[in-house]
Structure 1
């Protein structure tokens, strides 16, 4: 007799997947644009964007075509060879940013791991074996490897895994005096997200970033921008450092870079990159032809005046609709973030219940995120339609109404 077919249910997840996630009770099976459907055929408006990954929505035709075309040519070669899609994507990144060198990996954590290793290696090779201090910020998030989670400023993600990498100092975000108190000649890098993603959508101020640039220059330390979540058009510029007119020494990108296909990149200059040599860092899958082909297509769409300028208009529509909900129900106190990486902080009566809001919103057919316990997060497609915004916000209003009443 043939084996019994396994039912792909949410219950099966609890039985066979490592219990490090708590996914929704429904299972999405199809996505198109800014809409998603589950196994039962229920439709959802997507304001979550796969945590800012699906910058062009689900199954964008040009991304699908790029993947299909590349899938018939070359899938994987390893780092023993280069390939044309990788060279093409690297050229796009170099030609449109401060960068002169690119390293490809597969996730934001890997790109940040490479950035932190590069910063220390550069300092050790160029200045002193004792120049290893990394200054980072409370509520920051840089990935889940032991190094990146230790640099991240949220102990809940790093505690319980044994000794952490040493010489990492955390200070309050947007507090230049706190940085001044700890930066010295032993500092190799200052690391931050220009807009803290998981930490509550707090945006850096311009004086803060300008001050960090000056401090790093004075101490021969590198300034690293983690733009995994806030980059690739999310703020209305290709990368958010362009909004601040402050240029980092190293920048990391992932999430929207592949429009849904796993890929990441670390960007830097010739001066810094030259300390690296063959074999001192690497990755088997980094620069994969499939990933780079999709990322090339995503880049060509995102890096256009039409898409980038449209972010501001969509952001305004989101904020207007959120305020409309707030005027009726009084659930928010402030709005955070920039562009289409937005946060709505819950009023005191609803503090600690952001995850409950997320779950209830899904029941009413709209997908949103939380950023901590007190902030609702919105990271929709950069090209989401006006109709989807209005429909999604109507569903969110219904969810809020239900939540307040209960």
Structure 2
């Protein structure tokens, strides 16, 4: 079957209907531009939901994957492999962490983090200390455990009964957090910037108080940096920007530049609770994924890239604000680095997808974060010309929707 015989309609015939992808099928990309089956070009301001942090077909990533593909694809964790050891060493040298657990995704990294937090507290303090506190509007994955911890009821609907021992508190509300964390809390988990919840950054005072409360109650502080990690905010990990160090950190998405890989990072003390046989992952630490991620981390963790993210943030935010001065559809433009949210005004509530669809028609890939926020998460190394052209196309989309076209 040739590419021309593969259609969007075919997707609906063979796939479980849990996704509703757009009407086009991209076939290839270079940098921050992709092309569909008809040859139409798009500027990618979505980044595969903050995954393709170095754009499409980055030559160094292609080379790393190709080289490893000619050596070893898979061993399982019955044996160690060199790329996984090298990547774990690199991650511990670059962060607070001493130990690493590899997974295939962010959801699996969070699953491991929550299991570790409970087991650590069970060993250290007893079975009563098992409560996990999370935030309203948070998102931590799609497994039964992670949708239960996630603070959005719509993702739990129809899957009940869900695991117990989970509490939710309003995000950025210090008083509510003080009331929620107690002697039965084993962990508090938070996204430094809520992604799916609307691209809302945490207040520094909130995260610092969370650290104090966890220390006070012998609870672990978990940062879900699946979306904010690997340079997305202008620091390698967002905790570095806030000056608040967690006990456990989860990372995925941009870590593999598009190749599926995730990791849970933690300290030596906490890691000891995952003894042989307590947790695992068949593909976790896969040589192909680790080889690519090694190269990603080397490229991203440089002043050139990280400072570039900060500069590109200003370019994108000023561009969005200029669009808003003309059309008045955004109540706020917020976020950190190249994770940017444009919240819609009351008049446009619930219509974020209309703007995203119009953007696609105008040749630019964009995202939503719920029904009321447009989200942009482009490559960390997107060129200034691509930003300007992408925003020009995005402005045409905004104009169309705002003018009812």
Q: TM-score, normalised by structure 1?
A: 0.98
Q: Report whether the alignment pairs 1:144 with 2:160.
A: no
Q: 2:255 aligns with which of 236, 257, 268?
A: 257
Q: Can you list the C-alpha shifts for 1:2-36, whole angstroms capped at 9, x where unaligned?
A: x9999311101111100000000100100110001
The reply to whether residue 305 of structure 1 matches residue 303 of structure 2 is: yes
Q: Is the 8 A contact 2:99 2:266 kept in 1?
A: yes
1:303/1:116 CA distance change after superposition, 3 Å? same
Structure 1 runs of 4+ with >4 Å offset: 3-6
The match for 2:26 is 28
Q: Could you tell me which residue of structure 2 aligns to residue 287 of structure 1?
A: 285
Q: Which residue of 1 aligns with 2:352?
A: 354
Aligned residues: 404
Counterpart for residue 44 of structure 2: 46
Give the root-mean-square deviation of aligned CA atoms.
1.1
Question: Residues of 1 paired with 2:259 and 2:25: CA distance?
Answer: 19
Supply the distance in 1 between the matched residues of 2:374 and 2:182 (Cα, whole angstroms).
37
The DSSP-based 3-state class of the residue aligned with 2:145 is: helix
- Output aligned runs, 1:6-405, within 5 Å: 7-405=5-403
TM-score w.r.t. the length of structure 2 is 0.99
3-state SS in 2 of match to 1:45: strand
Q: Deviations over 1:72-112 (max 9, x none)?
A: 00000001011000011001100010000000000000000
SS in structure 1 of the partner of residue 140 of structure 2:
coil
| Cα-to-partner distance string for 1:284-339 (whole Å, 9 max, x where unaligned) | 00000000000001111000110001011000000111011111111111112111
Name stretches of at least 5 consecutive residues in structure 2 with no aligned partner: none
Gaps of 5+ in 1: none
- Separation of aligned partners in 2, 1:152 and 1:287: 26
Task: Determine the C-alpha separation between the residues in 2 that align with 1:399 and 1:342.
Answer: 17
Change (3 A) 1:297 1:183: same
Query: Separation in 2 of the partners of 1:4 and 1:243?
Result: 48
Greater shift, 182-191 or 46-55, is seen at: 182-191
The SS at the match of 1:393 is helix
Secondary structure in structure 2 of the residue aligned to 1:214? helix
Q: Is the 8 A contact 2:24 2:37 kept in 1?
A: yes
